[in-house]
Each structure stands twice: as structure tokens, then as C-alpha cells.
Amino acid sequence: MVLNMTSHLYTNLPQRLHFPPPPSSSSSSSFKPHLYLSFKRITLHPQSSSSSIFIHCSSQNSIAITSENRWSLNEMSALVTGGTRGIGRAIVEELASLGAEVHTCARNENELENCLRDWNRSGFRVAGSVCDVSDRSQRENLIETVSSFFDGKLHILVNNVGTNIRKPMVEFTPGEFSILLSTNFESVFHLCQLAYPLLKASEAASVVSISSVSGFVSLKNMSVQSSTKGAINQLTRSLACEWAKDNIRINAVAPWYIKTSMVEQVLSNKDYLEEVYSVTPLGRLGEPREVSSAVAFLCLPASSYITGQILCVDGGMSINGFFPRHD
């Protein structure tokens, strides 16, 4: 008898589970049954060749989450800002290789054209616009272009662009302060605002912003940059709640040192690089592809219950207390 129960609980035998419906809210006039699943019965079919899990809803609506579409971005549209180098480029390629149609932007037209040629040769579906995301009117033009390109629907927005000016806080000029704020935070805020109708129209959207471990811990000469990343982190949590009703998930990825053009110069200092290694439990720098895989996961249907999170991709740096490396 005990053995039977164990096998019932811990194997993938078909089973029926009953859950109460979610509480109905009279104030929620925008309730959409196809977005907010009311589980009545869940039946697992492990014997089927595609290992599909069919979730039957109490209403007429029924979705099939298959092993294919849980890990695929087929038929999805994506905007990735700053896709010609570093982390952004890896994200463009990761999303495109998972089946998404991607639009990207950068300021340098030649670099953008070269990338588009490479991607075209690789068979990726990627288009691009020249755009400086720190400029309000260029952001508006970008979203207009993206809207007409994707017929008013956007499944994925990746706010990747960010920059850095390293110096003590008291030495910042108003111009430098303004560059960091507009490039790193205002662009994220405004692009989310502009993209909202497109994201909502897709009926299941994901926004991922590239934050930094500097949004959690103090790093030398980075008070302003880290404030912009801290702002991204909190906007992520706030929007996750505000836009959950529209089935738009909002997450962020927070890297530590990743091998890109942005940090090439600072890491050319051997002593500094040694210090970086010494506070990184994995003892090395990250690769752009190690960030893009985390971003892709947060865009996939496989992460459909994750929102409002900031995922550190940092070799353990942000959780490192005092752990001497004597061995």
C-alpha cells in the first residue's frame, strides 16, 4: 500500500490535481481568461513522444505546453538595444538562434551594417536601426520602426545598452551625470513606456534589462553608474507587479565582469585583474554568452512563472563574504 502511494506521488503517472480558482476581483475589469489561467485539472502525459504537459482550464481555454515551445522562441519578435558588440551581440544571436525575429540598434552605422551582414550569412533573422537610446526622439523613432516591422506586437524587449564613467562622486560634472542617467536609466524607463502597447498586444511578453552587480554592492568610483543599475532593479520589481495583469514579465540580469569592449581598458591593469579574480569565487571573468543564456531563459516560455527577479551572472561575486583562497 505504501509502495503504491509512493509510486503515485513520485512518478509521472497520469494524475488529477484540483486547485481552487483564483479569487475573482470585481475591480479587475481588464481580467483576461486567456492570460490568467484558472487551473481545474492538470493531466500529465509522460508517454507521449513530445512529452507534452496539457493544462486544462476551467474555461474553454486550454494551452498545451510542449517540450518544443517551452524552450523555443519561434514566432516571437524581439527588440535588443545595443546589439553590435559584447553582451548585446551575444543576446541578439542567442535569441535569433532560438527562433526569434530580432530588431537591434546601435549608434555606429558601419558596425551595425557589418553585423547585419554576418547575421544574414548565419541565417539569423535580424534587422537594425541606427539609434542613440539616450535621446528621447530617437527612442520614439525606434519604437515606431519596431512597431511597423512587427505589426504592432513585441514579445521581448531587452534593455541592454549601458555605459560607465568611473570617478569619485564629487568630481562628476552635470553633463557626465546626465549622460549616465539618460543612457542607463531614462532609456530603460522610456523604452518600457513606449513599448508597453506592443508588449501588451503580444499577450505574453518578457522584458529583460541588463543591470549589474553594482546595483547590489559598492564598487570603487561607480556611485553614479551603480545608482542607475539600482534604479533598474527597483523598476523591474515595480513593473513586474504593475504589468502582471497584462501577462508581461519583467526581469533583470546583473553581470559582474564580462569580457567586452566596455571593460577591456580597466582590465588591462594586471593588478586590478588579479583583485577581480580574488573576489570572484569562480576565479575568472565571464563570457558574453554566459549572460545571453540567462537572458534567453528569462524570455522563454519555460520561465513563465518568473517575474520581478534580478538574476546575478557573476561567478559568485555578489554572494562572496570572506572566503580566503589559500588552497
Near ligand NAP in 181-240, by CB under 6 A:
183, 210, 212
Collect all residues with Cβ–Cβ distance below 8 Å to 159 and sequence separation of at least 6.
Answer: 81, 187, 188, 191, 192, 207, 208, 209, 210, 232
Among 133, 205, 298, 311, contact with ligand NAP (rule: CB under 6 A): 133
**Residue 10 CB neighbours (<10 A):** 8
Q: Taking a C-beta distance cutoff of 8 angstroms, is the pair 81, 191 a contact?
A: yes
Near ligand NAP in 4-63, by CB under 6 A:
none
Q: Is 276 in the site for ligand NAP (CB under 6 A)?
A: no
Among 69, 78, 80, 82, contact with ligand NAP (rule: CB under 6 A): 82
**Listed residue (226, 224, 229) closest to 173, CA to CA:** 224
- 53 vs 276 by CB, closer to ligand NAP: 276
- 206 vs 209 by CB, closer to ligand NAP: 209
C-alpha cell belonging to residue 282? 569562480
- 87 vs 299 by CB, closer to ligand NAP: 87
**Residue 98 CB neighbours (<10 A):** 16
Among 263, 273, 302, 306, contact with ligand NAP (rule: CB under 6 A): 263
Could you tell me the CA-to-CA distances from 6 to 2, 9, 10, 42 in Å, in that order? 6, 5, 6, 19
Residue 58 Cβ vs ligand NAP, minimum distance, rounded to whole Å: 43
Judged by DSSP in three states, 207 sits in strand
**Listed residue (129, 113, 110) closest to 121, CA to CA:** 113
Q: Residues 137-176 vs ligand NAP: string with x where CB under 6 A?
A: -----------------------xxxx-------------
Near ligand NAP in 241-260, by CB under 6 A:
255, 257-258, 260
C-alpha cell belonging to residue 114? 557589418
Residue 286 Cβ vs ligand NAP, minimum distance, rounded to whole Å: 7
Residue 37 Cβ vs ligand NAP, minimum distance, rounded to whole Å: 34
Near ligand NAP in 91-110, by CB under 6 A:
105-108
- 229 vs 249 by CB, closer to ligand NAP: 229
End-to-end CA gap in the chain: 52
Q: Taking a C-beta distance cutoff of 8 angstroms, is the pair 102, 92 a contact?
A: yes
Residue 246 Cβ vs ligand NAP, minimum distance, rounded to whole Å: 25
- 202 vs 214 by CB, closer to ligand NAP: 214
β strands within the chain, DSSP E: 39-44, 53-57, 62-65, 77-81, 101-106, 126-130, 156-159, 205-210, 248-255, 310-313
- 135 vs 203 by CB, closer to ligand NAP: 135
C-alpha cell belonging to residue 223? 556611485
Positions touching ligand NAP (CB under 6 A) are 81-88, 105-108, 111, 131-134, 160-163, 183, 210, 212, 255, 257-258, 260-263
